[in-house]
Amino acid sequence: MRIDLHTHSSASDGTDTPADLVRAAKAAGLDVVALTDHDATSGWTEAAAAADEVGIGFVPGLEISTKFRHRGVHLLAYLPDPTHPPLVGALDRIIAGRTERTPAIVAALRRHGIAITEDDVRRESGGSVAAGRPHVADALVRLGVARDRTQAFTDLLDPGRPGYANRYAADLEDMIPLVTAAGGVAVIAHAWGRRGRSLLDEQALAGLRDQGLAGIEVDHQDHSPADRSELRDLARRLDLLVTGSSDYHGLGKVDHDLGVNTTDPEQYERLLSLAGAAR
């Protein structure tokens, strides 16, 4: 069983449509794939239909933008009820924050002398409800300002760069119980990526587990072999489940091919058994 529990489609900042992503997962030899678009469930129906068609397992999920101690944390939520009103409300607020940020980024870039417009960005984010910096990056590439997404982030869109603008994110400690109340399973994405190690240490993770956190994503490209082995031990001590995933974004992220990391079938079974528990 090859199980990949973290991917992005054009419903957020990936470049494959949800159906194409599922077909690519089948072609990559996966047995189960989760779709975890940023802050959006809009790709689920199409992906589920495609999974039925090609005969692989499908897990509906999300990667929710949250903050913890003033730092950004991505929270994976598997199998929540997408109509649960508090969840819908929380996601609407995050999406509104994304939508409001685009004009701020465009204005900042224009002040920096780059002739980009909101329409340029809208052309790239067309099918997505979750407008994001990757769409601005794609617009910058099309305008010839950047070579690829990575260069656009490094030169212009990362924190501290001329085109950076902040946006609203939910509180992680509110979001974990909310996801659980919606029948979902909460797992911290790339827990120790980008300086996460000091933020999400054992004590912090123990506290989050007590609030309902079910697991941590351990096998992820942002984690070194040493990080993975330490995180795995930590998860065992805290009785958290462990996942592994690609964080595939289609052509939007290099070195994140489908199935590059996978989740152990036993851990996957445990995740499924937790879903719906609070509903």
- Residue ranges binding ligand AMP (CB under 6 A): 13, 38, 132-134, 149-150, 153, 249, 253
CB nearer Zn ion, residue 132 or residue 183: 132
Nearest one of 5, 110, 113 to 62, comparing CA atoms:
5
Identify what 149 binds: ligand AMP, Zn ion, Fe ion, none; CB under 5 to 8 Å per kind.
ligand AMP
Instruction: Work out how close the CB of 175 gets to Fe ion at its nearest, in angstroms, rounded to a whole number.
Output: 14
CA dist 11 and 17 (Å) reads: 7
Binding positions for Fe ion, 173-212, rule CB under 5 A: 189
CB nearer Zn ion, residue 118 or residue 222: 222
| Cβ atoms 173, 64 nearer than 8 A | no
Distance of CA 218 to the CA centre of its chain: 14
The pair of structure tokens assigned to 146 is 């950047």
CB nearer Zn ion, residue 217 or residue 227: 217
Binding positions for Zn ion, 63-122, rule CB under 5 A: 63
State the DSSP H helix or E strand holding residue 58, giving kind and residue range, or none if neither.
strand 57-68
Instruction: Work out how close the CB of 78 gets to ligand AMP at its nearest, in angstroms, rounded to a whole number.
Output: 18
Q: Measured at CB, which residue is nearest to Zn ion?
A: 247
CB nearer ligand AMP, residue 7 or residue 263: 7
- Start-to-end Cα distance in the chain: 28
Binding positions for Zn ion, 230-249, rule CB under 5 A: 247
Query: CB atoms < 10 A from the CB of 151, how many?
Result: 15
State the DSSP H helix or E strand holding residue 141, giving kind and residue range, or none if neither.
helix 133-142
Identify what 220 binds: Zn ion, ligand AMP, Fe ion, none; CB under 5 to 8 Å per kind.
none
| Cβ atoms 62, 6 nearer than 8 A | no
Measured torsion, CA atoms of residues 36, 238, 30, 32, in degrees rounded to the nearest 10: -60
For residue 74, state whether it binds Fe ion (rule: CB under 5 A): yes
CB nearer ligand AMP, residue 26 or residue 249: 249
Binding positions for Zn ion, 247-276, rule CB under 5 A: 247
Q: Contact positions toward Fe ion, by CB under 5 A? A: 13, 74, 189
